[in-house]
Amino acid sequence: QPQVRVVNYPGLKSHPHHDWARRLFSGCGGVLSFELEGGVPAAERLIEAVDLPISAPSLGGVECLITRPAATSHKAMTAAQREEIGLSDGLVRVAVGIEAAEDLCDDFAQALERVRTA
């Protein structure tokens, strides 16, 4: 999607630690993060626009969860501290749940379209 600036997922060949992950793991799991063109405003619009994922910082449920760590799990850190560890304020984290993959793909596609046209 053109709105997505970067995806962080070691299962992708483009990830800087892909080869390392392939050697160590039998798979890469269902947690990923990404950044959108447009930073925080775009990330917040996306989180509001998705229907299936629940906006929550916890990774403990069976449903798909979506969050912006700078506003939840890493909120106590300063912007400079987050920047130092490579966590941008516009980063979106997704923990994929048990929903049908096609339903999640469709939901994210419609949400990204809404972000693009906003």
Average pLDDT over residues 94-106: 95
**How much of the chain, in percent, has pLDDT values that exceed 70?**
98
Are 112 and 64 a contacting pair, CB within 8 Å? no
Residue 22 · residue 6 · CB < 8 Å = no
Chain segment 6-33, per-residue pLDDT in tens: 999 998 899 888 888 888 988 888 899 9
How confident is residue 94, by pLDDT bands cut at 50, 70 and 90?
very high
**Does the structure show a pLDDT above 70 at 59?**
no
Residue 68 is predicted with a pLDDT of 95
Percent helix, strand and coil across the chain, each to the nearest 5: 35, 15, 45
d(CA 42, CA 78): 21
**DSSP letters spanning 66-81:** EE-GGGTTTTTS-HHH
Global pTM?
A: 0.88
